[in-house]
Amino acid sequence: MQHIQDKEFDQRLRDQFENEEIQLSANSWSDLERVLHPQSKRRTSYRSRWLAAASVLLLSSLGVYLSSHTGDRVMSKERLALNNPVREEQTSVLEHNEQLNAEGIKENIPNKPADRNVNSVKAVAVLKADSEKNNIEPELQAVSLTPEKDEIILSSLQPSSEIARHVDNQALYKPEKLAVLQVRNEVISDTDNEIEDTQQQRGIRNVGDLVNYVVDKVDKRAEKILKFKTDDDNSSLIAINIGMLKFNQKKQK
């Protein structure tokens, strides 16, 4: 039998590979393109990443906003009642007292404010209205509403009333008003500080607190990318700052 020679063997092998092709993987060109044109690809990928991140943030914040303003409202009331029954009691007592006060004021309107009790009731009503706005401690209201403890209020108002008497002796109610304003200013500034302190002390109670915490750590700008109002157990979105898109509920007010 005749055997194949080396040269012929080589030629036959060469022929087997002539014009042959091997199909490449689908992403073969895109892989090479990424190496050949790295800058343009990187720019588009950064842009798409930012867009994706912004859309995720928007969607998540929208979800939190919607959930906090619909289904959670009832739940949060129940949660409040469960978590803080004392506050609930105080609220109901205050509501009752407010009714009594309103009746008292109504009854005394024709007689004009001649007696001190009525004055104190009015002062307390003003204080109470302010305190409701600024979350003043309810104990102060509870104390001031009891007739026996009117002296406490008057004693606390004493220095202001003396000054006011020097200014205008004719005005019967001015001392109380001045005192009330003075007390109110002090209370407002104290309350602002208290709100800041309590925000730091109370920790993370809901999603809004969590988002605020994370954003504070990540975003060092004055106007954060997202800010939630978390005064109560519900949280609501009050500020967005994503480059072109800015929204600040506080500023709008």
Binding site for another protein (CB under 8 A): 1-4, 6, 8-10, 12-17, 19-25, 28-29, 31-33, 35-37
In terms of CB distance, is 10 or 223 closer to another protein?
10
Rounded to a whole number of angstroms, the minimum distance from the CB of residue 50 to another protein is: 24
- Taking the complex as a whole, the smallest distance from the CB of residue 46 to another protein amounts, in Å, to 19
Closer of 3 and 220 to another protein (Cβ):
3
d(CA 196, CA 230): 12
Token digits for 235?
A: 């949280």
Q: Between 27 and 84, whose beta carbon lies closer to another protein?
A: 27
CB of 206 to another protein, least distance (A): 50
Q: How far is the CB of 42 from another protein (least distance, A)?
A: 15
Q: How far apart are CA 180 and CA 174, in angstroms?
A: 10
Instruction: Return d(Cα 168, Cα 29) in angstroms, integer.
Output: 91
Shorter beta-carbon distance to another protein: residue 12 or 246: 12
Closest by Cα among 217, 218, 215 to 238: 215
Q: How far is CA 131 from the centre of its chain?
A: 20
* HSE, side-chain direction, 13 A CA sphere, residue 218: 10
Q: Three-class SS of residue 228?
A: strand
Q: CB under 8 Å to 140, separation ≥6 — which residues?
A: 127, 131
CB of 52 to another protein, least distance (A): 25
Closer residue to another protein in complex, CB, 35/82: 35
What minimum distance in Å lies between the beta carbon of 207 and another protein?
A: 46
> Toward another protein, which CB reaches closer, 8 or 107?
8
Least separation in angstroms between CB 43 and another protein? 15
- Please name every residue paired with 237 in a beta bridge, in sequence order, or none if there are none: 228
What's the sign of the alpha-carbon dihedral 70, 74, 76, 77? positive
Angle at 86 between CA 83 and CA 87, to 5 degrees: 80
Q: DSSP state, 169?
A: S
For another protein, the closer CB: 23 or 111: 23
Helix, strand or coil, per DSSP, at residue 84 = coil
